[in-house]
Amino acid sequence: MKSSKYIVIAVAAIICAVIVGRAYTYKYRSQDTILVTGLGETEFTSDLIVWSGTLTAEAQNVAAGYAQIEASKEKVQKYLTEKGLPAEAVVFEFVNADKQFAPVYNANGNWAGQRFTGYELRQRFIVESKEVEKVETISREISSLIAQGVSIEAYAPDYYYTKLDDVKMGLIEKASADARTRAGKIAENAGTKIGRVASARMGVFQITGANSNEEFAAGGSFNTSSRNKKARITMRIEYRIK
């Protein structure tokens, strides 16, 4: 009976030793890696421009205000057509009409209420085109419409790139290659070689203006104010050591 008991204890001890040994080996191997961050950057030029403005009018009644807006709209359409933009490139949104009021004060200078002064009407239009340079010129020369009596608020254009997915995939490839080069150099200096990838994590996609000092955002930046842009992405990759 005692000999059987000793045999069971010995077997249990061997099993425990094997488990502990494997756990130690796994821990040792799991730490036998190189962690690097690769960078991918590229510059590109926007191929789509979005420019917008707002037509405004003030009148005592809505009908008169609509007539002013319609007259301004016709002048804008003619202006854009003469500049070579097709009609489908511009979209006019619905007209907003808001009542306007002015404060009223009594003889003592105390507020006594407000009085109706008329209506303010606003209509936004949007120009979207791949003829970036042409629309840029149009947006800069919009003051010629003001000289024709058009009440207009024009905004700075926004610039986009329609092949952004291709840019992103290319940057991932560049960043991954850069990470592998860095890891290979570290391993070479240590007298070893890199093996398979243990883990990989992509950083946020950053788009800033080219040759600008814009700061990166934690959640990723997306510049639309610059025609020429720079895209950047990082890849954090962990390699096994052979």
**Could you state, in order of their start, the residue ranges of all structural domains in the chain?**
1-31, 33-45+163-241, 50-157
* pLDDT tens over the chain, length 242 residues: 445 544 444 444 444 444 444 433 333 344 589 999 999 999 999 999 999 999 999 999 999 999 999 999 999 999 999 999 998 999 999 999 999 999 999 888 888 889 999 999 999 999 999 999 999 999 999 888 988 999 999 999 999 999 999 999 999 999 999 999 999 999 999 999 999 999 999 999 999 999 888 888 888 999 999 999 999 999 999 999 98
- The pTM of this model reads 0.79
In three-state form (DSSP H/G/I as H, E/B as E, the rest C), the secondary structure along 47-97 is CEEEEEEEEEEEECCHHHHHHHHHHHHHHHHHHHHHCCCCHHHEEEEEEEE
Does 33-45+163-241 match 50-157 in CATH topology? no
For 163-168, the CB contacts below 8 A with 24+ separation are 163/47, 167/42, 167/44, 167/231, 168/205, 168/231, 168/233
CATH architecture group of domain 33-45+163-241: 2-Layer Sandwich (3.30)
Q: Which fold has domain 50-157?
A: Alpha-Beta Plaits (3.30.70)
